[in-house]
Amino acid sequence: MPGFRWEPAGVKFGFSSNAPLPVFWFWFCYSKRMRQVAHTLTSETNGPGLYEITNRVVDWCQQQSIQEGLLTLFIRHTSASLTIQENADPDVCHDLQVFFDRIAPQHGSYRHSAEGPDDMPAHIKSALTQVQLTIPLQNGRPVLGTWQGIYVFEHRHHQHRRQVALHLLGE
């Protein structure tokens, strides 16, 4: 870029002919090196419920040699979702399932029914929850509370292989 110049505090660098170093070289030499890695985790489900994937996610993160960063999880489906919930008492997962079944019943008066009576309620449940989670990473581990777990929340009544895309950015 002819004539480009960036001169903070009187220091000259850029791409002009009288600049000692291009900005890129300055950034390359003096900034921390960010890395990003991606992975697809498959979760086998067997009907409605919450399926914990915390240990698999933590194990994958620790294998990446990234200490500080940001982890994004994205489920690639419209009839399942992701959630962070209590993992100490299984009654929490049960009560969540009962609640969502009450607000989106299987035999409601839905127009969309081509994929079965559990499909439209699954779409509603997915729309009311999350398909993406973002979790900070510290010391190579997702930063979760003492009783927090990461779950695939299956909303359909049949067996499925759910794919969760993991993306880790950090250093």
Say how far residue 8 (Cα) sits from the centre of its chain: 37
The answer to whether residues 153 and 94 touch, using CB atoms and an 8 Å cutoff, is no
Backbone dihedral angles phi then psi of residue 154, each to the nearest 5 degrees: -80, 130
pLDDT digits (tens, 9 = 90+) for 80-107: 999 999 999 999 999 999 999 999 999 8
pLDDT-flagged residues of the chain (< 70): 1-32
Domain 32-170, second-level architecture: Sandwich (2.60)
What pLDDT does residue 108 have? 87
Please check whether residue 96 is in contact with residue 157, taking contact to mean a CB–CB distance below 8 angstroms. no
Q: In this predicted structure, what is the pLDDT of residue 98?
A: 96
Q: What is the DSSP letter of 9?
A: G
Decide: 64 and 148 in contact? Cβ < 8 Å: no
The residue ranges of every structural domain in the chain are 1-31, 32-170
Instruction: Please report the pLDDT score of residue 27 as a whole number.
Output: 57
Residues 6+ apart with CB under 8 A from 163: 40, 41, 42, 43, 75, 76, 77
What pLDDT shows up at residue 1? 47
